[in-house]
Amino acid sequence: MGINFVTLMLLNMAAGLALFGLFIGRLDGRKPDNAFAPPFAVVGFIGLITGFRMIFSWPLIGSYNILFGETTVWFGALFLALAWVLTRQSDLLPLAIVGGFAGLAALVLGARVLDMGLTAAPPLAAMGFILTGLGALLAAPAAALGYPKPVMIAGRLVVFAASAVWLMFALMGYWMHLGEYAKYGLPTGS
């Protein structure tokens, strides 16, 4: 197993989704709060850099680079764009439509993770992808309909659940990686 940074990507995903859940809760018929722009930009930057690095260097085995790298590029780009839209106080609908395409891909990837038994915890990873995809798919109708309360509540619950799943997955990854990588660079006794 090569050295990789998928744990950073997963933790970034969890943090970004938790932040997005808070952001959704503050919309409630008001103009979007541009105070969220800087943290969205941080999450987007980390996602874009790590995702691009993964899709061009393939530090993981086989299809895991596609699974985590490409989705992280989408995630990072969408969060950077969200930060930019908030600073300009523009309409969120066009970005939500683009995010819907990433959401569809996440649903397919979640089903495929389960089908192929990918990752150390396929049901958990599949749930993370599916919940994240559902959250992305809810964004466009919410924006188009003026952020109706039932849609916003559903979206917020889905996004917070996805964040919790990715956080669990990230923490499991840190635990496993520290054990697996402990042999690299350790002193060989005295």
User: Is the residue at 39 inside a domain?
Assistant: yes
User: Is the residue at 84 inside a domain?
Assistant: yes
Q: How high is the pLDDT of residue 29? A: 63
Structure tokens at 103: 């959401």
Structure tokens at 117: 């038994």
In 3D, which of 167, 163, 20, 134 has the Cα closest to residue 81?
20
- Provide the domain count of the chain: 1
Domain of residue 40, CATH code: 1.25.40.600
User: Is the residue at 131 inside a domain?
Assistant: yes
Mean pLDDT of the chain: 92
- Mean of the pLDDT values across residues 86-96? 93
Q: How high is the pLDDT of residue 188? A: 58
Question: What span, in angstroms and rounded, lies between the C-alpha atoms of 165 and 128?
Answer: 5
Residue 77 pLDDT exceeds 90: yes
User: Is the residue at 186 inside a domain?
Assistant: no
Alpha-carbon dihedral sign for residues 153, 10, 172, 15: negative
Asked whether 174 and 131 are in contact (CB, 8 A), the reply is no
User: Is the residue at 185 inside a domain?
Assistant: no
For residue 158, with 0-12 CB atoms within 10 Å meaning exposed, 13-18 middle and 19 or more buried, which class applies? buried
pLDDT tens for residues 135-183?
999 999 988 888 888 988 999 999 999 999 999 999 999 999 888 888 7
- Mean of the pLDDT values across residues 30-50? 92
Q: How high is the pLDDT of residue 189? A: 56
User: Is the residue at 106 inside a domain?
Assistant: yes
User: Is the residue at 183 inside a domain?
Assistant: no
User: Is the residue at 184 inside a domain?
Assistant: no
Domain that residue 87 falls in:
6-176
Q: How high is the pLDDT of residue 190? A: 47
